[in-house]
């Protein structure tokens, strides 16, 4: 069975780890009451992870446009192939939509995004508390939706590994040549 390229595999797992980390950090930081140095540090890390996800997602999309993924197994029913393609497209949408919504929420709340404390990203919108409240909800629900899609993606991978034993997941595992 054909495998994804080493670059595609590396980008997949880097983005996955960053998304899980940013999601977890987002849940933790929003439960910390008031403003504390720890909470502010977590917000900074969360933003850095989001910006990094966005940059890696752009690289991944550019890579994907020039490198076709390996074909799904012919034994897979057509509805599963369609579901897999649809889920992957939705994941790409959310991988971009979540960081973008977080970025605009942060700007509307009146805070700049300073990547790793090194440089400030452009301020594309002015502070707008009403818009910030809307974008906060949008960011939250996009995250919850993406979490559900990631869960579905993981369940499908496990199904292919445990039930079907068709090698589908091995195509994306690092360091495995067979």
Every domain of the chain and the residues it spans? 6-172
Asked if residue 149 lies in contact with residue 90, where contact means CB atoms within 8 angstroms, the answer is yes
The pLDDT tens digits for 120-163 are 999 999 999 999 999 999 999 999 999 999 999 999 999 999 99
The pLDDT tens digits for 46-69 are 999 999 999 999 999 999 999 999
pTM: 0.92
Count of Cβ atoms closer than 10 Å to residue 116 Cβ = 11
CATH of domain 6-172: 1.20.950.20
The pLDDT tens digits for 13-42 are 999 999 999 999 999 999 999 999 999 999
């Amino acid at each position: 069975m054909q495998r994804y390229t080493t670059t595609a595999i590396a980008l997949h797992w880097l983005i996955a780890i960053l998304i899980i980390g940013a999601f977890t950090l987002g849940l933790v930081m929003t439960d910390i009451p008031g403003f504390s140095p720890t909470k502010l540090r977590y917000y900074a890390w969360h933003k850095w992870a989001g910006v990094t996800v966005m940059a890696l997602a752009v690289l991944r999309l550019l890579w994907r446009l020039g490198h076709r993924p390996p074909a799904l197994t012919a034994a897979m029913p057509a509805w599963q192939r369609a579901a897999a393609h649809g889920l992957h497209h939705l994941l790409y949408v959310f991988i971009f939509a979540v960081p973008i919504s977080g970025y605009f929420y942060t700007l509307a709340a009146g805070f700049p995004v300073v990547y790793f404390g090194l440089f400030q990203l452009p301020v594309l919108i002015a502070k707008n508390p009403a818009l910030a409240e809307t974008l906060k909800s949008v960011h939250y629900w996009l995250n919850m939706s993406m979490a559900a899609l990631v869960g579905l993606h993981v369940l499908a991978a496990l199904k292919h590994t445990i039930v079907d034993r068709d090698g589908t997941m091995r195509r994306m595992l690092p360091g495995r040549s067979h």
